[in-house]
Amino acid sequence: MPLHRIFVPTGLYTLADKAAFAQAITDVYAILPPFYVVVLFIDLEPSNFFVGGKSTDRMVRINVEHVARNFADAAIKRGFMDRYEAAIAPFTTARGLDSEVQVVDCDVGPDSVL
């Protein structure tokens, strides 16, 4: 189950934006049943969101955990990141926002590779 935590300034996205953003992320995982993909939006007041020691209302920070599957090699991971960044671009860079994505592969068995 891929888990996506999206840290955003409060009020940055509407409910419709969040639904479309979550669907775009889910669509990246075409090989998985959609119900496996979990997306959490974590709203933060700018007084609780700092980058470089300064509060911000223009940053989106995404943490992804691949719990049941890992990347077999760097080329597959790069391909995933290219698809992921393209999918989230309408919600980040296209809106003039700064963003950062971190993907963590959790420990799994040898048969659990993408």
pLDDT digits 0-9 by tens, 22-50: 999 999 998 888 999 999 999 999 899 99
**Which CATH number is 100's domain given?**
3.30.429.10
Residue 110 domain flag? no
Residue 114 domain flag? no
Mean pLDDT across 68-97: 92
Q: How many domains does the chain have?
A: 1
The parent domain of residue 31 ranges over 2-105
Tell me the residue ranges of DSSP E strands in 1-114.
2-9, 38-44, 50-51, 54-55, 59-66, 98-105
Residue 111 domain flag? no
Q: Say whether pTM exceeds 0.75.
A: yes
